[in-house]
Structure 1
């Protein structure tokens, strides 16, 4: 692997960990170092940092909060 790729991975610890967990990227980056941008997008997908994944997590949190609010209202009505 090229020295500049190794330096880039040393500076980005999460990408370095991703490469360690997916060793096929060693071969990919060794043969075609310009694939670094694809590595970043694959790592974002793996770590859940894409826009759609963040939006899904946000929607799950909102639905959980609405469920808790409905439960709290039901319990308050039950006491009265």
Structure 2
């Protein structure tokens, strides 16, 4: 693996941990340095940081807040 890629991964803890959990990426980066963009994409998907995943999580949080508010309103009555 190129030293620049290694130092980049050391600075990005999320990518570093992703590679530790998926060692095939270490081998892939050792063979092809240009696959760093693909690694970032896969890492975002793994950690749930893509836009659709974040929107779904926000929607679930809003539903939870609505449910709590309705329960609190029913409790007061």
Range class of TM-score, shorter chain: over 0.9
1:16 aligns with 2:16: yes
Q: Which has the larger radius of gyration?
A: 1
TM-score, normalised to structure 2, is 0.94
Gaps of 5+ in 2: none
Q: RMSD of aligned C-alpha atoms?
A: 0.8
Q: In the alignment, which residue of structure 1 is the partner of 2:76?
A: 76
Cα distance per residue 1:1-43 (max 9 Å; x no partner): 1111101111111111111110000111011110000100111
For the pair 1:46 / 2:74, whether they are aligned, the reply is: no
Task: Give the TM-score normalised by the residue count of structure 1.
Answer: 0.91
Instruction: Report the count of equivalent residues.
Output: 77
